[in-house]
Every structure is written in structure tokens, then in C-alpha cells.
């Protein structure tokens, strides 16, 4: 029998001297075993642990993902890449989703159509791009004067938001899953200062979907343009203003080079959630384990994206300031006019669109309570800290 606890196999205690000699021999033996012995031992240990069940029994699946965003936007498109890597890692490479940037498989604003028609298995996009099909699409991204990022996460996960969206998406042969968040967005870039509501009249602005409908009531001429095409349109004067996301992406796209005034807040996107749209037939074919992996990887990518924007935006804001960007807040009368215009649009839709009304009623009921909670708990704290740390 081997030595144990300082005793011989005859159970008599070792002397201190003999115990030290015994330990020295054991160390010498282990060192003398050499690399070959170590490798052999490792092989035996590895063989004793079976591969995860998912690697043994799950099928190999290959999907193609089409994104609405260009590779240059390393957080928006990067979220799609991160998602695909997580799916592969959690399935030991069995489930392979290949990401493709805007235009590689389908045009940026036709991702939902491609998923619906089964041209691709999964699309990574912003749901409100498809507002023209039905305004109800907007809820999965943002609606004017809607929820902030954490409120949106809470609504989606714990107040029936995603279930309601999937009930709606069934008509389009799509299963919907959250896949990203930009956080609160900026109010955009303008060639001229906005001092009154009248300054909006006739303004050609890259702003689509729901926000575009609201702005049109104030005289703006909305243009829906994909991210990679905004700068040339602004540079050539095809548009007078644009909105995109926030400092990190906006500085990368160079909007400050052709428009001087940078406004906040982006009242049309207090948060902006991105979506993974999965073809319904392909979703139903997946093993339950893979469905869970896709759901988990999407949430992981959402947290990754929000954290990256929160980490990168402050530095980019400083760069924009150094480039002589003029920061402005929309005047209170302009904000009030925009809010009132949004309520008019909602009122019209609620009488005409039952699908929109069903989700709107749930969404706004949640918002009323959530806003009060955030004001009570975090609003005061945030305002205090902003005053104390303002440089």
C-alpha cells in the first residue's frame, strides 16, 4: 500500500528524517517521469472524461446570417459576429452561423423579407426598418418617447413584450429574439441650428420609420437611408440632417465633417433594441437545445453591445468636442411639439390597427409605472452625480 498521512503500511509513525527522505524520493520519481510520462498521463485523464453530450449527439447545422449593418460599424455588425461565435462555442462547433454584412447576401433594408422568404435562415436587423409593412414592427426596436434601455429589457423579458412580438411576427413566418441594444441615442446632426419648430419645416432628414412619420407632421421631409449611405447623402446636400446612433458610431462615420450641430436627446429612441429574426420553419427544425443556445447567445450579444457603447461613447464625445462640434439640446418648445405630434400619430394608429393597439396598451401600461420607479430610484442619483463630476 502507498504511504499516507505519515504512516507506514504497518501503521507505525515515520521518523521526521525518514519522512523527509521519502518525500524527496517521490519528488525525484515525478521529475524523472519526463515529458513522455506526463503526456501519457494526460491522455489517460482526457480519455476518462467523455465529450459533452451536445458534441456527441447533436446534429451539425449551418446557417447564414444577413445583417443590416456594414462591417465598419464594429459594434452593430460586431454584435452579429459575437452572437455567431457564442453559438459555435456553446455547441462545440456543431452549430455554425456565418455572419454577412449589409449587401453581401441581401440589401440592408430587406433582411426581414429574406428571412420571411427563407432566402436566409436568420437576419440581424432593426425591426423598425420595416415600419412601412406595419407600424407594429417598431415596438421591437423603439417608438418615439418610449422606454429606456433597462425598461425595454424588463418589458421584453418580464411583461410579455417578446411574446406579443412573436404573436405578431407569426404572420411573417418569423420567430423574433432580442439581439442587441445601443442604449439611448442622440438627436442627430444638423447643418443649421434648430431654435424653433419652424426651423424644422422643409428640412430633409435621414430619419425613417415611426420617427419619420412624427417629424413629417412638423414639416420635416423624412428619408430612410441605410447606415453606409448616410455620409455621402449629407456631404452632397441630398439631405440637410441625419440621425444614426451616438458618438462612437457617428464619429466613425464622419458626420461631424459635414454637419456642425449635434443635438440631443434622440427622443425617438430612448433605447434601440436589435433583433434576430429567424425563419419560422428553420427555428422549428432546431433541437430544443439549439433553440436555447440561440436565445442565450442573443442575450449575451445584447449585453456585450450595450456595454461596448457605454464604454466607447464618452471618449468619442471628447473627440467630437475637439473637432469643434457644436452640442445642442432641442429647445423645450420643439420637444413639446414633437411629443404632441407623436401622441397624434398614436391616436390615429390605435383606431386603425388592432395589432398595434394590443402591444401599445401593454407597453404604455408598463411604461407609466417604470418611469416613476426610475425617477424615484435613479433619476435623482444620476442628476446629483452629473453635477458633482461635471468638468
Task: Tell me the pLDDT tens digit for each residue of 177-188.
Answer: 999 999 999 999
Over residues 344-353, the mean pLDDT reads 98
In the prediction, which pLDDT does 226 show? 85
Q: Write the CA distances from 335 to 13, 187, 253, integer angstroms.
A: 86, 11, 27
Residue 333 predicted with pLDDT over 70: yes
Q: According to the model, what pLDDT value does residue 246 have? A: 97
Using an 8 Å Cβ cutoff, are 253 and 75 in contact? no
pLDDT of residue 54: 56
Q: Which of 129, 125, 118, 127 is nearest to 66 (CA)?
A: 125
C-alpha cell at 77: 455588425
d(CA 281, CA 284): 5
| Separation of alpha carbons 65 and 123, rounded Å | 5
The pLDDT > 90 percentage for the chain reads: 82
Which pTM value belongs to this model?
0.84
Residue 61 burial class via C-beta count within 10 angstroms: exposed 0-12, middle 13-18, buried 19 and up: middle
pLDDT recorded at residue 313: 98
Please state whether beta strands 204-206 and 241-242 pair in parallel, antiparallel, or not at all (unpaired): parallel
State the maximum Cα–Cα separation within the chain, in Å, rounded to a whole number.
Answer: 100
Q: Are 259 and 242 in contact (CB under 8 A)?
A: yes
CA separation (Å) from 388 to 185, 364, 383? 24, 33, 9
pLDDT, tens digit, 9 for 90 and up, residues 94-119: 999 999 999 999 999 999 999 999 99
Query: Average pLDDT, stretch 143-151?
Result: 97
Residues 94, 289 contacting (CB under 8 angstroms)? no
Residue ranges of domains in the chain, CATH in brackets: 60-184+271-310 (3.40.190.170)
pLDDT in tens, 27-52: 444 344 444 444 444 444 444 445 55
- Is the pLDDT confidence value at 159 over 90? yes
Looking at residue 334, its pLDDT comes to 98
Amino acid at each position: 500500500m502507498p504511504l499516507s498521512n505519515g504512516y507506514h503500511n504497518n501503521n507505525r509513525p515515520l521518523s521526521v528524517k525518514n519522512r523527509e527522505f521519502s518525500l524527496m524520493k517521490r519528488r525525484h520519481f515525478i521529475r524523472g517521469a519526463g515529458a513522455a510520462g506526463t503526456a501519457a498521463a494526460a491522455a489517460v485523464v482526457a480519455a476518462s472524461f467523455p465529450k459533452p453530450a451536445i458534441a456527441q449527439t447533436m446534429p451539425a447545422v449551418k446557417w447564414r446570417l444577413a445583417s443590416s449593418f456594414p462591417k465598419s460599424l464594429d459594434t452593430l455588425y460586431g454584435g452579429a459576429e459575437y452572437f455567431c461565435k457564442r453559438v459555435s462555442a456553446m455547441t462545440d462547433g456543431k452549430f455554425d452561423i456565418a455572419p454577412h454584412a449589409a449587401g453581401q447576401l441581401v440589401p440592408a433594408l430587406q433582411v426581414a423579407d429574406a428571412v420571411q422568404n427563407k432566402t436566409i435562415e436568420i437576419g440581424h436587423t432593426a425591426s423598425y426598418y420595416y415600419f412601412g409593412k406595419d407600424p407594429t414592427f417598431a415596438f421591437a426596436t423603439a417608438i418615439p418617447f418610449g422606454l429606456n434601455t433597462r425598461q425595454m429589457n424588463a418589458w421584453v423579458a418580464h411583461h410579455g413584450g417578446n411574446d406579443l412580438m412573436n404573436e405578431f411576427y407569426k404572420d411573417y413566418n418569423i420567430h423574433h429574439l432580442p439581439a442587441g441594444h445601443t442604449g439611448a441615442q442622440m438627436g442627430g446632426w444638423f447643418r443649421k441650428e434648430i431654435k424653433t419648430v419652424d426651423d424644422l419645416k422643409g428640412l430633409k432628414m435621414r430619419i425613417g420609420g415611426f420617427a419619420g412619420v412624427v417629424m413629417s407632421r412638423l414639416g420635416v421631409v423624412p428619408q430612410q437611408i441605410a447606415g453606409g449611405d448616410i455620409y455621402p447623402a449629407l456631404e452632397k446636400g441630398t439631405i440637410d440632417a441625419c440621425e444614426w446612433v451616438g458618438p462612437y458610431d457617428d464619429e466613425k462615420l464622419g458626420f461631424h465633417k459635414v454637419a456642425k450641430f449635434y443635438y440631443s436627446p434622440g427622443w425617438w429612441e430612448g433605447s434601440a433594441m436589435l433583433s434576430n429574426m429567424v425563419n419560422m420553419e428553420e427555428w422549428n427544425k432546431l433541437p430544443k437545445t439549439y433553440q436555447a443556445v440561440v436565445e442565450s447567445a442573443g442575450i449575451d450579444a445584447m449585453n456585450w453591445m450595450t456595454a461596448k457603447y457605454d464604454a466607447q461613447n464618452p471618449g468619442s464625445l471628447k473627440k467630437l468636442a475637439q473637432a469643434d462640434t457644436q452640442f445642442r439640446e432641442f429647445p423645450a418648445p420643439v420637444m413639446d411639439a414633437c411629443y404632441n405630434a407623436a401622441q397624434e400619430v398614436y391616436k390615429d394608429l390605435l383606431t386603425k390597427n388592432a395589432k398595434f393597439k394590443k402591444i401599445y396598451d401593454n407597453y404604455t401600461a408598463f411604461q407609466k409605472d417604470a418611469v416613476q420607479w426610475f425617477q424615484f430610484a435613479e433619476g435623482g442619483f444620476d442628476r446629483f452625480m452629473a453635477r458633482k463630476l461635471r468638468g
